[in-house]
Amino acid sequence: MSEVDAATRLRSERDRVVADTRQRGAAFGAALADVCDAVLVETAATLTLKGKWAVIVAGSYARRELCPGSDLDVVLVHGGGARGRDAESAARTLWYPFWDAGFSLGQATRTPKEALALADSDLDALTALLDIRVVAGDRDFAFELRDKARALATKRRGRVIDALSGAASVRYERPGPVAEVVEPNVKEGAGGLRDFQALTWAGWAVSTLGGLTGLVEAGVLAPDDVDEIQRANAHLLDVRVALHRVTGGRSDQLTLQEQDAVARMLGVADADVLLRELSDAARSIGWISREVWSRLESGRKGPSGRTA
């Protein structure tokens, strides 16, 4: 498959998935991830790289939670040395179909040493490596990098928790709580998707089990809260996919002029119902996440009951 053919296929398949409004939230994200995976796999099969290498994806792409306007975070990890120049050339072969098809691509070409050095100085780079997915190449090579990143998160526990907790506090100031503002940002607002993701990353700092399971194992998240917060996250993802479909863009702010259209897309009565259900989900994430950060910061164990 030529680069032009790959780009044409990407555009066609993406448009098909976006147009199929029966697929919402996680189902949409998985369908679009499958489309992108297939092209990456076929393109990677044409590479003539020697030595160890892998194509890994991160973020919402790794979680198969893509929205219509999501960035695709893709990294070509290679063994370095003289073959590094070959890797740069190979990477352009991988990236071209996505660029040409109009995807917003967050691409990189790195050795494991480079990736870990960046992760040790940049929280976003570290969290990106915690839940990577391998699309092509040497899986053991890629998972060794992932495991070292997870060990680094544990080693830097205090720094990671402080940074994640601090970012969560900032989200209450700007862009503000999803449950309280007139035009909520469903991704970056307090109680939004980013708050949920931050908890899963914190799990790797406190337990080798990682994610929400790690937080439960560490005694800072009540087992009964896991289902509640996962349902809330799923609802916010439904809203974000619908919002991107309505706007045809990448905005995560649910503006007044778009609320009725998003409500119709989701099959709810009107904007008032949409916002009420969204607020309920965001409050669940907000309440639970605040308790988790409080326990992590104070070192307290044993989840206690919440108060509204």
CATH assignment of the domain containing 250: 1.20.120.330
User: Is the predicted pLDDT of residue 247 greater than 80, yes or no?
Assistant: yes
User: Is the predicted pLDDT of residue 148 greater than 90, yes or no?
Assistant: yes
- Which of 154, 177, 198 terminates a domain? The answer is 154
Q: Which residues of 235-263 are buried (b: 16+ CB within 10 A; e: fewer)?
A: bbbbbbbbbbbbbeeebbbbeeebbebbb
pLDDT of residue 197: 99
Residues 220 and 162 in one domain: yes
Q: What is the per-residue pLDDT across 122-134, written as a single tens digit (0 to 9) for each?
A: 999 999 999 999 9
pLDDT of residue 80: 84
Which domain covers residue 292, as residue numbers?
Answer: 157-298
If one counts the domains in the chain, the total is: 2
Looking at the chain, the whole-number percentage of residues with pLDDT higher than 90 is 91
